[in-house]
Amino acid sequence: MNKGILYGIGAYALWGFFPLYWKLLHTISALQLIGHRIAWSFLLLIAFILITRQWADLRATFNMRNFRIYLIASLLIGVNWLMYVWAVNAGHIVETSLGYFINPLISVLLGLIVLREKLRPLQWIPIVIAFAGVVYLTFTFGRLPWIALVLAFTFGFYGLVKKLAPLSSLYGLTMETGILFIPALAYLGFVEANGTGAFLHTGPVPDLLMVGAGLVTTVPLLMFASAAKRIPLTTIGVLQYLAPTIQILIGVFVYKEVFDHTRLAGFSLVWLALIIFWVENYLAHRAPVDPIPELGEG
């Protein structure tokens, strides 16, 4: 199997289990959790770069063009992280999963419009089925699913920026977290000064989990960035259904969130689309002759 697809599967599987991690820190504000997530991620990445003696190579990437690109990426991922952590701990895991079901459609759309990627004729079938399922799910919520939409659009455009970004996944993520590091550190210093800081005040387990946020953040993001460099955005879009499927199972069976028959019908359409995509992709790559160009080619 394509290494990019394996990276994508790994990233989305890890993201799928994220609600379990953040729920362990539900007593801490989302802003503080994001501050720690950014700070420890950056420190972890810098430590790895120093240990592997890549500092000089990283410094060579510092220029205004790269800064502007990764400033956009850092703002998109920062908003996405904040919204996700807040929503999970506020009891909206099912709606966050809807956001990540909508996001692949945005990724496919961006891939087709911006990057001029191409779909094989049969690949339009799961895309249409998934679109129908997402539209149905949106209407069954009975209100504008604003949490889902924020998550979908921020991560969709983040994927596009990462697809176009010039740096390796390691250097790119280091620059993104580095841009957010000073604001994050300033905020954490502020809450510590006014007596509302959580770190070192809530016990050893929460402290370890806040530090560990750096590791659980960087590993799937590096895998995602590597996947984005190797496979078309349209393929990334469909792979992403893995994460919200795991999330919704956690929301319903672990945290007992509402999931009635109407939502089951909508999600079933999305799962059917994913199965069709995988079958089509498997058969296309088993064919001895490939008369139709691969996704994203010429």
Are the C-beta atoms of residues 54 and 61 closer than 8 Å to each other? no
Tokens of 16: 């799928």
Residue 18 C-alpha from the chain's centroid:
11
SS3 string of 202-268? CCHHHHHHHHHHHHHHHHHHHHHHHHHHHCCHHHHHHHCCHHHHHHHHHHHHHCCCCCCHHHHHHHH
- Segment 35-57 shows an average pLDDT of 94
252-288 pLDDT tens trace: 999 988 888 888 888 888 778 878 877 887 777 675 5
| Contact (CB, 8 A) for 250 and 93 | yes
**CB neighbour burial string for 148-166, b if at least 16 within 10 angstroms, e if fewer:** bbbbbbbbbbbbbbbbebe
pLDDT digits (tens, 9 = 90+) for 99-149: 887 787 788 788 888 888 787 888 888 888 888 887 887 787 777 788 988
Predicted TM-score of the model (pTM): 0.80
Residue pLDDT, tens place only, 60-102? 999 999 999 999 999 999 999 999 999 999 989 988 988 887 7
Spatial neighbors of 116 by CB under 8 A, at least 6 apart, are: none
Distance CA 207, CA 189 (A): 16
Q: Tokens for 14?
A: 């890890």
Mean pLDDT of the chain: 86
Distance CA 207, CA 161 (A): 33
